[in-house]
Every structure is written in structure tokens, then in C-alpha cells.
């Protein structure tokens, strides 16, 4: 069985996969891997463009190193698709908390004051213990965010596609159809949704205005969840106290885009996840190894993507 490994891996990670019985593992750079190497692979570990892997006559399974799988909607039906859900919650939820505190405590504004060598008190701030937090999306990332916010003293609510098994760290769960019932009461709203037909443009001008005035919006899921032009209007009105975007629409954001210079909008270049945190890479390698052992032994795979749901 030929396995093509295209996720960047150090020598320690490579050694871990070299002696798996029944698996002939080839390591390649995803940017320079040849069509011949792809064509021969029964298994691909890592992300390659779907148009390239669909040309492979041998491929039976692709294991993504990302949690998002929306770019693989056109993958051949007979190929099993698994993702790395569960690997990113730790790092991304910490990024979300950092964003919330940055806005809530005026830290970015104080940094600008420091550059001017001024000594100015910007006045009162809110606390997490007095905040209502809404996690829109309750997968690994959203659940990690909700759990940590609850531990920090916030009152936490969750939104998911269907309501079931409410965790102890969430006061109440709502479906996506019920989101407007809780949205006006929340001080911090975190979006960690995958891109699906139901989530695209979920936050348009009307819904953004249903948020609590002066609240904070954080998006680490997909940029398409927010209508960018509507967000620009809302922020020019001064309706929200801050918006933190690790994802944008379009992405990458063009250098001349108005969003870059919009007051109280804070943009990071899709870096809350990736492998910027070493622990994330370790989690992904664990998922790869566990699933490859399942595959070799003829066992059911974990993290199989539901093609209809898109995650």
C-alpha cells in the first residue's frame, strides 16, 4: 500500500511513519509533488488541490491536515475523506480569548497611545466575569472556547446546527435557527463555523445589528460567514466596540481593502491555527498515525467528513 505524505514534517515525525507494517510511505513537498507520485498513492496524508488528487486512479483515502474540508466538495465519491478535527481547538480558542481581552481591556488602543508617548486613561472596561459569551459553532474549536470562557467566569451560551447533549460549561444551547433569540444579550460572540450553504453570509447587516451595541465579534471559522461590506457599514456607525478577524472575505485581503483601515477592526492573516503552535502539529500527527493504523488494520476511520454537511 503506497502512502503519500505531503504535510511538512520534521525528522522525528517522519520516523514515526517509516516502519508501519504494510505501508510504503513516501514524503514529498506539497508544492512540488509530481503527478506520478499522486497517481500511485492509495492514501494521501495532507492537503493537495482536489483537482490534482481527482486525477489519481489509485486513491482510496485522503486524510487532511486541516479541520476545514470545504475545498473538497468535488472530491470523487469513492474516495474517503477525513479531516483533522480536534487538533486545532487548543490553539485557536486561546487566540480567541486573547482577542476578546485585547478589545475588552483596550490593549490595542493603549499600544497606539504608547507610540505617541502619552499617559492617558481610556476609562472603564468590562470584565469576563460580567460578560455573556456566545460561541457560534460547537465543534472542537467552539467547545474549547466556550469551556475556557466558562472557566474564566463568563456566562456562556452555544449555537449549533442541532441541540443535543448540553455540556456543563454552557448555560444554554440554541440552534442556528434560534440564534437571534440570544444574540442581542451577548457581550462577546465567537464564530468558529465551517463553510456550508447555511453559514455563508450568516452575519449580514441585519444580524450584525441584532448583536448587543458595543459587543465584540471574533471570527476564526471562515470569512464568508460575515458579509464584508455590511461589516464595514456597521463599524463606520460605531455599533460594535471591536471585531477580530483571523479570516476574511476575500482572503487574502487585498492591500487596498477598506477593512484594513477601519477603526476597531483587528485583522490577523489566518494564523490562529495552522502549525504556529507546536502542540497543533503534534495533535495532527497523532490523528494521522491513529487513522493510518486503522486503515492498515481494516478498521473504521475517525474524523470522516460528512459530504452532505461539509464537515
**Residue positions annotated with a catalytic role:** 222, 251, 270
Distance of alpha carbon 162 from alpha carbon 277, whole angstroms: 31
Sheet hosting strand 188-191, strand order edge to edge: 172-175, 155-160, 132-136, 188-191, 216-219, 242-245, 265-267
* The three grid cell numbers given for residue 190, joined into one nine-digit string: 465567537
Q: Write the DSSP symbol of residue 226.
A: B
Distance of alpha carbon 245 from alpha carbon 125, whole angstroms: 21
Are 195 and 223 in contact by the 8 Å Cβ rule? The answer is no
Residue 113: count other Cβ atoms within 10 Å of its Cβ: 14
Provide the angle, in degrees to the nearest 10, between the axes of the packed helices 107-115 and 89-104: 60
Local structure of 145: helix, strand or coil: helix
Q: Please name the residues in contact with 254: beta carbons below 8 A apart, sequence gap of 6 or more.
A: none
Q: Where are the alpha helices (DSSP H) in the chain?
A: 11-18, 35-40, 50-53, 89-104, 107-115, 140-151, 179-182, 205-208, 228-236, 278-296
Strand partners, 265: 243
Cα 230 → chain centroid? 22
Q: Please name the residues in contact with 127: beta carbons below 8 A apart, sequence gap of 6 or more.
A: 104, 153
Place of cell 463606520: 236
Place of cell 491555527: 273
Amino acid at each position: 500500500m503506497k502512502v503519500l505524505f505531503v504535510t511538512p514534517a520534521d525528522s522525528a515525525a517522519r520516523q514515526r511513519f517509516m516502519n508501519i507494517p504494510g505501508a510504503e510511505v513516501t514524503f514529498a513537498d506539497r508544492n512540488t509533488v509530481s503527478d506520478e507520485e499522486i497517481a500511485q498513492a492509495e492514501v494521501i496524508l495532507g492537503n493537495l488541490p482536489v483537482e490534482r488528487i481527482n486525477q489519481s486512479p489509485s486513491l482510496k483515502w485522503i486524510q487532511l491536515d486541516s479541520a476545514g474540508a470545504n475545498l473538497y466538495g468535488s472530491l470523487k465519491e469513492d474516495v474517503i475523506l477525513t479531516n483533522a478535527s480536534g487538533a486545532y481547538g487548543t490553539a485557536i480558542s486561546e487566540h480567541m480569548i486573547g482577542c476578546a481581552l485585547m478589545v475588552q481591556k483596550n490593549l490595542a488602543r493603549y499600544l497606539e497611545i504608547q507610540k505617541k508617548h502619552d499617559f492617558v486613561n481610556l476609562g472603564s472596561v468590562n470584565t469576563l466575569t460580567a460578560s455573556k459569551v456566545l460561541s457560534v459553532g460547537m465543534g472542537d474549536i467552539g467547545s474549547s472556547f466556550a469551556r475556557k470562557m466558562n472557566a474564566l467566569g463568563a456566562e456562556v451560551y452555544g449555537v449549533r446546527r442541532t441541540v443535543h447533549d448540553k455540556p456543563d460549561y454552557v448555560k444554554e444551547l440554541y440552534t442556528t435557527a434560534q440564534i437571534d433569540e440570544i444574540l442581542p444579550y451577548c457581550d462577546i460572540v465567537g464564530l468558529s463555523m465551517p463553510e456550508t450553504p447555511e453559514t455563508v453570509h450568516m452575519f449580514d447587516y441585519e444580524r450584525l445589528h441584532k448583536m448587543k451595541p458595543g459587543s465584540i465579534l471574533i471570527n476564526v471559522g471562515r470569512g464568508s460567514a460575515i458579509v464584508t461590506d455590511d461589516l464595514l457599514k456597521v463599524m463606520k456607525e460605531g455599533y460594535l466596540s471591536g471585531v477580530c478577524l483571523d479570516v476574511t472575505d476575500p482572503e487574502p485581503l487585498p492591500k487596498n481593502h477598506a477593512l484594513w483601515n477601519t477603526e476597531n477592526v483587528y485583522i490577523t492573516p489566518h494564523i490562529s491555527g495552522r502549525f504556529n503552535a507546536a502542540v497543533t502539529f503534534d495533535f495532527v500527527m497523532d490523528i494521522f498515525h491513529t487513522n493510518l493504523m486503522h486503515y492498515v488494520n481494516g478498521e473504521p476511520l475517525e474524523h470522516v467528513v460528512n459530504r452532505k454537511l461539509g464537515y
